[in-house]
Amino acid sequence: MTKYVYFFGAERAEGSSVMRNLLGGKGCELAEMTNLGIPVPPGFTVTTQAWVHYQRAGRRSPEGLWEQILEHLGRLEEVAAVKFGDSERPLLVSVRSGARVSMPGMMETILNLGLNDVTVEGLATRTKDERFAWDCYRRFVTMFGSVVLGIKRSVFEAPLDGVKRRLGVATDADVPADELRKLVRTYQDEVAARTGSPFPQDVREQLRRAIESVFQSWFAKKATEYRRIHGIPEDWGTAVTVMAMVFGNLGRRSGTGVGFTRDPRTGEPRFYAEFLPNAQGEDVVAGIRTPLPIEALHEQMPAIYDQLLAIAARLERHYKDMQDIEFTVQEDDLYILQTRSGKRSARAAVKVAVDLEKEHVIDQHAAILRIRPPEVNEAIRPVFDDREKAAAVAAGRLLARGLPAAPGAAVGRIEFDPERAVELAKEGEKVILVRPETSPEDVAGMYAAQGIVTSRGGRTSHAAVVAVGMGKACVVGATDLAIDEARRSFDVRGQTVRAGEIISVDGGTGEVILGAIETVEGRPDEEVQTLLEWADFYRKGGLGVRANADTPVDAERARRFGAEGIGLVRTEHMFFAADRIRMVREMIMATDQAARRAALAQLRPLQREDFIGIFRAMDGLPVTIRLLDPPLHEFLPNWKEYKEMVERKSRLEALESEPEERRRLEQLIGAVERLREANPMLGHRGCRLGITHPEIYGMQVRAIMEAACTAAEQGIRVEPEIMIPLTGTVGEMKETIEQTRRVADGVIAEMGVPVRYLVGTMIEVPRAALIAQKLAEHAEFFSFGTNDLTQLTFGVSRDDVAQFLPRYLDMGLLTADPFAVLDQEGVGELVALGIDRGRRRRADLKVGICGEHGGEGSSVEFCHKVGMDYVSCSPYLIPGARVAAAQARIKERLAGGGERS
């Protein structure tokens, strides 16, 4: 018989941390803590395997499950010395979800289960607190009614609000016992009217239905959305933990709280927690009541505070990571209800990892492996310009100061509705989501927003915790904002601010400012610097990291971020500059060679100057410059402008005016029509352009080599690498390389500066990978252009993939966007094969990657495995790529691998 239920309690548990997949995060850590002797209320966990069998059988419990639950319930009664459903000493339980990875607030929890019309009286007598007992019952009927019976929460909340209004009291805690008793009756009548059956009095039936509902809550919309955002597989399912209730709402000597062993925003090593006296756990997490700083616990119950701190420190050492702990104090007894690895900002992630190494808790390998590469990039993302911000505040634009919940500088348009925020973001709009508080339903909207502001809630409220995990700037508890969702505006100190207006949010200081504030480049702080130094040390002998950069300014930035050269200069970006597009158009529209050469002659000095700037920024490092790649029509007016031109031309013709302008329009229209292609991505571009228009490549090679020679004369150490795009045949390779060498050698001879240079190719069409051996006869290096290679291997246009990608991801037909995460099975196979074949012909063939994948963690690891020399990515992704490259090498060493092949 399969074991579906695992017990924990009385300092002994059947599970442990290593059983995470089976018991879920919550269940396995409760077991682990029990074994460590930490005070945890007893209980049992129903496994994820039970969930799988339940779902497979069409939502029917697998054989033996219920019997096992009852058996463990018996054990629980023994350990807790109370009985489920007993009229005098009733056991109450919580029923909690718990997946393998934490999905905070996404699934359901039911508290105070085991109450009915009889046990509520027992609870009242036993606790000598009638109000407390009826409050628990009221909460239970609400939770069970909404979660299990599917009745809207407002059905229960409205009568409670009505009572509060009638009594003229502000909080739930002020509603007396007899009113609560009446409320429960009202609730039960509502349940009977809406479901056709009375509220279940059989506590076992309550338990069975609650467990099944928690199972089903895996499929709740918010949970499904969360899984999609975080790439969590659909078929993992959730475990369910049934645990004896402990009560934080038993009066002044009770309470509940949430705490982090370090500050999740900054990583500072201090206990960062909040406490809410006389309350149940859900009150804190939901952000409904604003909790007090943990100092309140220190003052009111110093012994409990000390005990909590000691447990927190112990848990952190045990798990070797920052922990997020939920605790409850019941009449001077402390209980830990949950511990998990705490969500943290990117900066905090780096600081915690580096600090733990310094504290000898983990080693450098572990510290590096623990960081997700994007976190390093995020840790040095832009911050607000201090001077601009001070000026905005001085000018009276500071709207509010709330609690700084998640660091970051965000600017965007105000939006109050999370769903609308998602839509606006899809349209490319930057939004700031402003809400009274957030709930798990809002997660997609939070994800779509640049930043989040709430008027209520504390530092551990839903908004704060989720934003920290998502890396979004967040300010909570900005109590000055009186939000009116219906009117889509908020009032603040006599001023009304509406949806659509721009605000700036500083999640590091808690400031909310009207209007946009400029941001400036962030600087790596000490810990980021340390981590990157470690990464570079462990990366030695592995992958180099270069940048894709098109201008001297980009190149300088790249170097500051640690680039070891440039892997791709897209020369066409230099053509797009406003003052140059005219010359480019002249070149394209030239009707004869002479006119074309004249236009090119104007462009050459400009390109040369850019190249000199780039060589200077990259003094001593290689610079790979790609010759023109996109089809020429990209430099001409687009389709919309074309139509406008046609209309304008006919208007002018009708008026018989402006003959000069008519001629200009005619030429442009003619060029657009001549160059129009059905499928430009597969059309007249890349080296095809260089072959049909050798004068264009000739001009570019000349500009590159003139720049290299000039820079070399100035004492700059140059290493130019000239790269031919989109090669697919040996003929193309031979032709373009010979052309290039002729021009380059000519310039060197003319200028008399002996610059060494390489000529190589991009591998972007599958055929190039297949004939790599022959291409390597001519090419001195390969750079995998995996954007095009992905497009051409899948036969999916990179511009059109968005049309169906979301559906494919939803259906699991793809696990990731192949234009972001390298498809190792298909495209990767071509990459590996291309490298292998290329090196067969030329053993010292230099190989890199310059598609977007060069900055993505798993793709970088792949590039390491297949023996590339370097990856190249956007300057902002370089820190992450350095860490990813180190991780690849460390993993290889830990797996016992030696040097790469």
Which residues are marked as active site?
A: 462, 850
- Quick one: which of 850, 883, 888, 890 contacts ligand PEP (CB under 6 A)? 850
Residues 189, 193, 196: CA angle, nearest 5 degrees: 120
Q: How far is the CB of 568 from ligand PEP (least distance, A)?
A: 6
Closest CA relative to residue 534, chosen from 5, 158, 52, 889: 889
Report what 20 binds from Mg ion, ligand PEP, none; CB cut-off 5-8 Å by kind: none
**Should residue 856 be labelled a site residue for ligand PEP when binding is judged by CB under 6 A?**
no
How big is the site for ligand PEP, counted in residues (CB under 6 A)? 10
| Helix ranges restricted to H, 449-562 | 462-470, 526-539, 552-560
Q: How far is the CB of 784 from ligand PEP (least distance, A)?
A: 7
| Helix ranges restricted to H, 451-551 | 462-470, 526-539
Handedness of CA 174, 180, 182, 183 (dihedral sign): positive
- What is the bridge-based pairing of β-strands 473-476 and 238-244? unpaired
Output 238 or 786, the one with its CB closest to Mg ion. 786
Output 29 or 788, the one with its CB closest to ligand PEP. 788
Phi, psi (deg, nearest 5) at residue 564: -105, 35
| Helix ranges restricted to H, 561-638 | 572-575, 578-589, 593-617
- Quick one: which of 14, 764, 823, 861 contacts ligand PEP (CB under 6 A)? 764
- With CB under 5 A as the contact rule, which of the stretches 693-701, 702-710, 740-748, 780-788 interacts with Mg ion? 780-788
**Should residue 786 be labelled a site residue for ligand PEP when binding is judged by CB under 6 A?**
yes
The identity of residue 91, as a single letter, is L
Measured between alpha carbons, how far is residue 676 from residues 262, 636, 799 in Å? 60, 10, 17
**Should residue 357 be labelled a site residue for ligand PEP when binding is judged by CB under 6 A?**
no
- Quick one: which of 29, 172, 527, 788 contacts ligand PEP (CB under 6 A)? 788
Output 108 or 764, the one with its CB closest to ligand PEP. 764
Rounded CA separation 390/849 (Å): 43
Distant-in-sequence, close-in-space partners of 476: CB < 8 Å, separation ≥ 6: 287, 402, 403, 405, 453, 454, 456, 457, 458, 459, 461, 463, 464
**One character per residue 754-773, x = contact with Mg ion (rule: CB under 5 A):** ----------x---------
Rounded CA separation 827/763 (Å): 11
Q: Which two tokens stand for residue 580?
A: 């140059």
**Should residue 788 be labelled a site residue for Mg ion when binding is judged by CB under 5 A?**
yes
Q: How far is the CB of 416 from ligand PEP (least distance, A)?
A: 38
Report what 851 binds from ligand PEP, Mg ion, none; CB cut-off 5-8 Å by kind: ligand PEP
- What is the bridge-based pairing of β-strands 255-260 and 272-277? antiparallel
Output 710 or 783, the one with its CB closest to ligand PEP. 783
Residues 584-613 that bind ligand PEP (CB under 6 A): none
**Should residue 785 be labelled a site residue for Mg ion when binding is judged by CB under 5 A?**
yes
Q: How far is the CB of 875 from Mg ion (least distance, A)?
A: 19
Output 41 or 567, the one with its CB closest to Mg ion. 567
Rounded CA separation 116/781 (Å): 77
The answer to whether 214 touches 97, Cβ cutoff 8 Å, is yes
Tokens 């006296």, residue?
A: 277
Output 491 or 817, the one with its CB closest to ligand PEP. 817
Q: How far is the CB of 548 from ligand PEP (least distance, A)?
A: 7
Output 222 or 633, the one with its CB closest to ligand PEP. 633
**Could you give the 3-state DSSP secondary structure of residue 333?**
strand
The answer to whether 626 touches 575, Cβ cutoff 8 Å, is no
Residues 569-588 that bind ligand PEP (CB under 6 A): 570
Report what 283 binds from Mg ion, ligand PEP, none; CB cut-off 5-8 Å by kind: none
Closest CA relative to residue 723, chosen from 628, 630, 625, 623: 625
Closest CA relative to residue 459, chosen from 346, 350, 324, 329: 324
The answer to whether 740 touches 722, Cβ cutoff 8 Å, is yes
- What is the bridge-based pairing of β-strands 870-873 and 544-548? parallel
Helix axis angle for 48-56 and 65-80, nearest 10°, is: 150
Residues 766-785 that bind ligand PEP (CB under 6 A): 785
Q: Which two tokens stand for residue 382?
A: 């832009």
SS (H, E, C) 13-55: ECCCHHHHHHHHHHHHHHHHHHHHCCCCCCEEEECHHHHHHHH
Closest CA relative to residue 476, chosen from 523, 510, 519: 510
Output 482 or 802, the one with its CB closest to ligand PEP. 802
Q: How far is the CB of 578 from ligand PEP (least distance, A)?
A: 21
Report what 567 binds from Mg ion, ligand PEP, none; CB cut-off 5-8 Å by kind: none
Handedness of CA 891, 895, 899, 900 (dihedral sign): negative
Closest CA relative to residue 838, chosen from 784, 757, 898: 784
Phi, psi (deg, nearest 5) at residue 313: -65, -40
Report what 850 binds from ligand PEP, Mg ion, none; CB cut-off 5-8 Å by kind: ligand PEP
- Quick one: which of 224, 787, 824, 858 contacts ligand PEP (CB under 6 A)? 787
Phi, psi (deg, nearest 5) at residue 84: -65, 125
Report what 570 binds from ligand PEP, Mg ion, none; CB cut-off 5-8 Å by kind: ligand PEP
**DSSP strand E in 389-472: where?**
398-401, 403-406, 409-415, 431-435, 451-454
**Should residue 823 be labelled a site residue for ligand PEP when binding is judged by CB under 6 A?**
no
Q: How far is the CB of 800 from ligand PEP (least distance, A)?
A: 15
Q: Identify the helix (H) or strand (E) that includes residue 76.
A: helix 65-80
Output 631 or 785, the one with its CB closest to Mg ion. 785
Q: How far is the CB of 848 from ligand PEP (least distance, A)?
A: 11
Q: How far is the CB of 854 from ligand PEP (least distance, A)?
A: 9
Q: How far is the CB of 849 from ligand PEP (least distance, A)?
A: 8
Q: How far is the CB of 788 from ligand PEP (least distance, A)?
A: 3
Q: How far apart are the first and last CA of the chain?
A: 49
Output 442 or 629, the one with its CB closest to ligand PEP. 629
The answer to whether 841 touches 771, Cβ cutoff 8 Å, is no
Distant-in-sequence, close-in-space partners of 797: CB < 8 Å, separation ≥ 6: 681, 791
Output 25 or 631, the one with its CB closest to Mg ion. 631
**One character per residue 183-222, x = contact with ligand PEP (rule: CB under 6 A):** ----------------------------------------
**Should residue 874 be labelled a site residue for ligand PEP when binding is judged by CB under 6 A?**
no
Report what 882 binds from ligand PEP, Mg ion, none; CB cut-off 5-8 Å by kind: none
**Should residue 401 be labelled a site residue for ligand PEP when binding is judged by CB under 6 A?**
no
Q: How far is the CB of 756 from Mg ion (least distance, A)?
A: 26
Phi, psi (deg, nearest 5) at residue 13: -135, 150
Output 437 or 764, the one with its CB closest to Mg ion. 764
- What is the bridge-based pairing of β-strands 622-626 and 566-570? parallel
How big is the site for Mg ion, counted in residues (CB under 5 A)? 3
Q: How far is the CB of 724 from Mg ion (least distance, A)?
A: 12
Residues 615-654 that bind ligand PEP (CB under 6 A): 629
**Should residue 851 be labelled a site residue for ligand PEP when binding is judged by CB under 6 A?**
yes
Residues 659-718 that bind ligand PEP (CB under 6 A): none
Rounded CA separation 149/192 (Å): 11
Output 131 or 570, the one with its CB closest to ligand PEP. 570
Interface residues with ligand PEP (CB under 6 A) are 568, 570, 629, 764, 785-788, 850-851
Interface residues with Mg ion (CB under 5 A) are 764, 785, 788
